[in-house]
Structure 1
Amino acid sequence: MSLQNASINVTHFIIGGFDTLNRPIAVGVFILIIYLLAVLANMANIMFIVSDKSLHKPMYLLICNLAVVDIMYTSSCNPTMIGVLLAGVNTISYVECLIQMCVFHLGTVMESFVLAFMALDRFIAIIYPFHYLTNTHVPVLTFILWFVAWCSTCYMPAIVIPLPHCSSRLRYTFCDFPAVLRTTCVNPDKYFNEGAIIAFFIFFFTFVFICLSYCGILLFVKLSSNNEKKKMGSTLVSHLICVIVHYGPAFVQIIFTRLGVVLTLEERQGLLIGAVLGPCLVNPFVYCFRTKEIKQKLFKIFKNLSSLSLLTETKCS
């Protein structure tokens, strides 16, 4: 039987990744809470930076861009998973699925690019303090990164759309490239290999770039005073936490694969969900509580709210 005869006209996909889950409501509530916390925290970071002119500096513009990426990244798939788990809405239209696939992978690529860009900013600020990035450089370079990231994800719909589909059921929990490609009538290995090469170059080069920037900074720190070491160390720790949370799940999967450990479908999906939720929740809190200016702004807001509350209580009594 030819592919054309075996293929079906797909207008909707059925999300089947949670079919074997024992406690879907509990998992759905957990994902919902983490998702809301992540979105609110990132929106708070953006509002703090946009509303305060003293924070209109390259580092804070990069933090704001990271918050935008995190909101887009976590919103690309979490509402779909929450809808499946809590509302039982386990279908998604073909067009919406393709859009979700592109936005999800765009978020994955941009997360790596922004972390590498932030590492470059810290490297220049510490090693070459008189040649730092300006407020003009950051938007231009950010636009270039978004453009490159978008180009790197355009091949996915270009591959998927012409292919005939033999199934409308997704094995995974939302629409990503492997999930959609497995519904087609062709052998997906060729396309998986092509995607793996692109993903390897993006992840490998951004991670190596970050590591090299750290090495340069650490060599410079050895020659600095104790006060400068403490300040630089605090800056690096904030960024390092975000790097570990983003790259960690991918490296765990690579290490398991190299050791011959075969992960089940549920374990792979757990790592994938963690790879989305982890960075988007951790990043805003790291930069809220480890960045002096944002932390001071938060304390000021809470102090004003406490004063207002006490004043209201006094008037009422």
Structure 2
Amino acid sequence: MRAENDTQISEFLLLGISEDPRLQPLIFGFFLSMYLVTILGNLLIILAMISEPHLHTPMYFLLSNLSFVDICFTSTTVPKMLLNIRTKSKVITYENCITQMHFFLLFSVLDNFLLVVMAYDRFVAIRHPLHYTVIMSPQLCVLLVLVSWMVSALHSVIQSLIALRLSFCAHSEIPHFFCELNQVIHHACSDTFLNDVVIYSASVLLVCFPLAGILYSYSKIISSICAISSAQGKYKAFSTCVSHLSVVSLFYCTVLGVYFSSAVTPNSHSTATASVMYSVVTPMLNPFIYSLRNKDIHSALKRLF
């Protein structure tokens, strides 16, 4: 019945956060500022890790990888949005939309896995401090990062391939500032049952299970901290985890908040606005959260300059 309306679509329209032309300069300046801060902050973290030999530890190795992924994560969406506002064009080609969706999935899932690996690193450091250097060897750290890359890449390839099988109606308008997976899939004119099954299955495997692993790790960490007799020892142990715990809370609370709110509120522009929190704001804040109370990073940055 709907086959006659299907077409080999060549482009989508990204409606952005707001269609009010008076707000476009404000939105452009806001996102450009956040993007530059994100690039600069995460780049400084990476340079500090590289330049200081005493920061060549598992924790900082994983942190530098997280900073690199955050740069890539933000760069998949914000530059295109800024270009569209600057040129007053909402068009994104079909090929670019699928490519953007692919890399957004890659780096978002990779961000998630790195947070899990970092939670495991803190778990070993608190629960098995005497065996930490043996367990968290350089070989294991590299292996965990490589596995995270491989699983994330496999997931994004699968999602992109099954999205390519869909046909879309002409004049598809996406009420978002990037090609978000659910938005693209639900604008298809063909059957999306397989896509929905894969999306929900991947959500359980790649979000719920990692989150459960992080919660389990921190439950064990907290029990170990509580068993420490001295208040100074408790403070020192907890201070090594508070930055990572803050980043985990910020990332997961914003992601879950966006998707729960989108299920309740049909206003897609509200969902796009809320998505800014985990896709733009969180990568921008991560360097500040990790460096705020970290004297090693402070010293490394001072020597770097």
Same fold at TM > 0.5: yes
Are 2:35 and 2:74, in contact at CA under 8 Å, matched by a contact in 1? yes
Query: Which residues in structure 2 correspond to 1:247-262 (within 5 Å)?
Result: 247-253=252-258, 256=261, 261-262=264-265
Q: Distance in 2 between matches of 1:278 and 1:85?
A: 19
* 1:181 counterpart (174, 178, 185): 185
1:230 aligns with 2:229: no
* 1:202 counterpart (185, 188, 206): 206
Q: Distance in 1 between matches of 2:18 and 2:211?
A: 35
Query: Which residues in structure 2 correspond to 1:1-317 (within 5 Å)?
Result: 1=1, 3=3, 5-18=4-17, 20-21=19-20, 23-132=23-132, 133-171=136-174, 172-188=176-192, 191-224=195-228, 225-253=230-258, 256=261, 261-301=264-304
The farther-off stretch of 204-213 and 59-68 is 204-213
Equivalent position amino acid for 1:177 in 2: L
Answer 1 or 2: higher relative contact order, Cα 8 Å, separation at least 6: 2
Q: Distance in 2 between matches of 1:164 and 1:257?
A: 24
Q: Distance in 1 between matches of 2:126 and 2:34?
A: 34
Equivalent position amino acid for 2:234 in 1: K
Measured after TM superposition, the shift of residue 215 of structure 1 is: 1.0
Gaps of 5+ in 1: 303-317
Identity %: 27
Measured after TM superposition, the shift of residue 218 of structure 1 is: 1.0
Measured after TM superposition, the shift of residue 156 of structure 1 is: 1.6
Q: Distance in 2 between matches of 1:256 and 1:27?
A: 22
Name the SS for the 1:136 alignment partner.
Answer: helix
Q: Distance in 2 between matches of 1:255 and 1:161?
A: 27
Name the SS for the 2:13 alignment partner.
Answer: strand
Equivalent position amino acid for 1:13 in 2: F
Q: Distance in 2 between matches of 1:105 and 1:42?
A: 20
Provide closer, same or farther for how the CA distance between residues 85 and 250 of structure 1 changes in structure 2, counting only shifts above 3 A.
same
Provide closer, same or farther for how the CA distance between residues 265 and 2 of structure 1 changes in structure 2, counting only shifts above 3 A.
closer
Name the SS for the 1:183 alignment partner.
Answer: coil
Provide closer, same or farther for how the CA distance between residues 239 and 18 of structure 1 changes in structure 2, counting only shifts above 3 A.
closer
Are 1:168 and 1:183, in contact at CA under 8 Å, matched by a contact in 2? no
Measured after TM superposition, the shift of residue 162 of structure 1 is: 2.0
Provide closer, same or farther for how the CA distance between residues 210 and 160 of structure 1 changes in structure 2, counting only shifts above 3 A.
same
Deviations 1:55-112 (A, max 9, x none): 1111110001100110111111111111222332322222221111011011111111
The farther-off stretch of 185-194 and 97-106 is 185-194
Deviations 1:92-138 (A, max 9, x none): 22222111101101111111111110000011011112332012211
Number of matched pairs: 299
Equivalent position amino acid for 1:194 in 2: V
Partner of 1:311: none
Q: Distance in 1 between matches of 2:167 and 2:233?
A: 60
The farther-off stretch of 159-168 and 187-196 is 187-196
Equivalent position amino acid for 2:254 in 1: P
Aligned-residue CA RMSD (Å): 2.0
Q: Which has the larger radius of gyration?
A: 1
Name the SS for the 1:195 alignment partner.
Answer: helix
Deviations 1:158-201 (A, max 9, x none): 11212222134332221122232233212435523430231133
The farther-off stretch of 95-104 and 174-183 is 174-183
Are 2:17 and 2:273, in contact at CA under 8 Å, matched by a contact in 1? no
